[in-house]
Amino acid sequence: MTGTANILRQTEITVGSGEAARDITVITRLGTAVERPALVWLGGYRSDMSGTKAIEMDALAAEQGLTAIRFDYSGHGVSGGDFRKGTISRWTEEALAVIAAAGVEQVVLIGSSMGGWIALRVIQELRSLNQGLKVAGLVLIAPAPDFTSELIEPSLTEAERQSLAERGYFEEVSEYSPEPNIFTRDLMEDGLKNRVLTGLIETGCPVHILQGMKDPDVPYQHALKLMEFLPLDDVVLTLIRDGDHRLSRPEDIAKMKTAILSMI
């Protein structure tokens, strides 16, 4: 460890233009170990950067003297924008803009649930842009790539399908919030354009997947399927027998921190 980073900076960046413009709130911990990768938190659907795992990632960065970047997608947390306009494309665009604005040379992406999908899309976009930013590692926590087509669409009820067709969205009860989850037709259709489980995924970096075997939202078989698409990378899969979707218990956080440290 080269020092301790205790400086937090909150900024806003505008992503998109015209009617598509939205203000994204970013919190950056300025690290002293500039030669080491910055940690970037990519949260899940309807989660925000004040969640337990995001805060613990930031605490690890402080201990290690690392730069840490957290932000809320549009329609999430304290960022602007309409949640119902959110899509994988829009949220990926925001993640790329936040990383670009940070001005760092290398990052470790930590993606939770939907954030795992965003992380994979970010890597694909960075590789196609070839801007020189290095992704040094990828930590995926209960990753949900392609969840709209792989996990949601097959289990839709007739009532939900009708609601999508007629109202443009459907609702389902959330176990994590008193407000229902809302899934829009735009999200579902855009998800098809952003699928990653269609061929070999080349991240160019080590990958560590943490997955609970009692996850009611993303079955552990989904993590096994993801591994089939990552044959070109050094991939570690940690299955947590009694782990749920959140993986926010102290023992789960310890595993997350160990995985992150292995990347830096």
Residue with tokens 């990753």: 143
Q: Is the pLDDT of residue 143 over 50?
A: yes
- Tell me the mean pLDDT in the region 237-264: 97
User: How confident is the model at residue 4, as a pLDDT?
Assistant: 52
**CA-to-CA distance for 99 and 95, rounded, in angstroms?**
6
pLDDT tens-digit profile of 53-78? 999 999 999 999 999 999 999 999 99
pLDDT tens-digit profile of 186-244? 999 999 999 999 999 999 999 999 999 999 999 999 999 999 999 999 999 999 999 99
Q: What is the pTM of this model?
A: 0.95
The sign one gets for the Cα dihedral 15, 118, 57, 203 is negative
In this structure, what are the phi and psi dihedrals at residue 229, rounded to the nearest 5 degrees?
A: -95, 5
In the chain the domains, ranked by start, together with CATH numbers, are 7-146+205-261 (3.40.50.1820)
Q: Is the pLDDT of residue 121 over 90?
A: yes
Contacts 24+ apart (CB under 8 A), 71-75: 71/24, 71/25, 71/26, 71/27, 71/41, 71/95, 71/98, 72/24, 72/25, 72/43, 72/48, 73/24, 73/43, 74/15, 74/22, 74/24, 75/22
User: How confident is the model at residue 180, as a pLDDT?
Assistant: 87
Pairing of strands 68-71, 22-30: antiparallel
- Tell me the mean pLDDT in the region 136-161: 97
User: Would you say 45 and 82 are in contact if contact means Cβ atoms under 8 Å apart?
Assistant: no
DSSP state of 19: G
Q: What is the mean pLDDT of the chain?
A: 95
